[in-house]
Amino acid sequence: MGPIRAMLLPGAVLPAQRAYGALIEALGPDVDAAAKDLELYAGEDPPPGWSLDTEVDGVLREADARGWATFHLAGYSGGGAAALAVAAGHPERLLSLSLFEPAWAGTWDWSRAHALMWEKHDALEALPADQFLPAFMRLAVKPDVVLPPPPAGDPPPWMARRPAGIMAFLKNFRSYNLDRARLASFDRPVLFVLGGLSNPDNYEETGARLSTVFPDYRLEVFEVRHHFDPPHRIEPDRLAGLLRVHWDRAEIRHRADLL
């Protein structure tokens, strides 16, 4: 049968290997896991005309380079939004979809609280650079969550590109057309992983909305996690077990479809 083929997309802050190293180790040697960096950070500045479609093209190029006709796709935060765009545009390539608190999931059926949350995100653009990331992080968690202080010492060089990258995501979310009907036709297993301490107006609502879209959908809640101490970094063994069950079921279904 060969190893399980899975691509993992990070969020807009950590590079892919830093984000997923612990999870890849927990998944074990029979999972061929590709932690793919975002196309957004291929150069010093976001590529001209960058959009979620740029990330979709990058995912397909990576899969083709590896000889993967089909594969499992997982994405966290901004990478989760990109993973949704792959599922909408190229469902035939995916065996399953895993979403770790996607940063955005289309513009349909928003509650007033969700819309207000996005108005607050839009206001981030006016903030000075030194206030942008703290304000962005605060919007991702419940009000009483204590966020960790920045690491001691100078930030790594790649960190300087992150505010522009995050803003590129936020701007593209305003105009990108994530087709609900195309997502609803995606019949492969979908796993949504939610942190119990994350902002419910964002991620909990997103999980609830997507539960009405995908026909084969499962929600898993990590009660004491939030968006900036996510399960793939803090509880990789538990998440690896969930993913293995999710992927094994998808593999069995795919083999049955080929008969």
- Model pLDDT for residues 211-256, shown as the tens digit of each residue: 999 999 999 999 999 999 999 999 999 999 999 999 999 999 988 8
The type of residue at 123 is: A
Cα dist from 101 to 156, 196, 206, 229, 249, whole Å = 25, 11, 8, 12, 22
Confidence grade of residue 1 (pLDDT, cut at 50, 70, 90): low
Longest Cα separation, the chain: 58
Indicate whether this model's pTM tops 0.95: yes
Which of 259 and 31 is assigned the larger pLDDT?
Answer: 31
Mean pLDDT, all residues of the chain: 96
End-to-end CA distance of the chain: give it in Å, rounded.
15
Cα dist from 248 to 4, 28, 225, whole Å = 9, 14, 25
Rounded CA gap, 210 and 201, in Å?
14
The type of residue at 130 is: D
Answer whether 73's CB lies under 8 Å from 94's CB: yes
3-state secondary structure of 98: strand
Q: How far is CA 55 from the centre of its chain?
A: 12
Q: What is the mean pLDDT of residues 117-122?
A: 96
Rounded CA gap, 214 and 250, in Å?
14
Rounded CA gap, 177 and 155, in Å?
35
Q: Which residues, 6 or more positions from 138, have their beta carbon under 8 angstroms from its beta carbon?
A: 147
Q: What is the mean pLDDT of residues 92-109?
A: 98
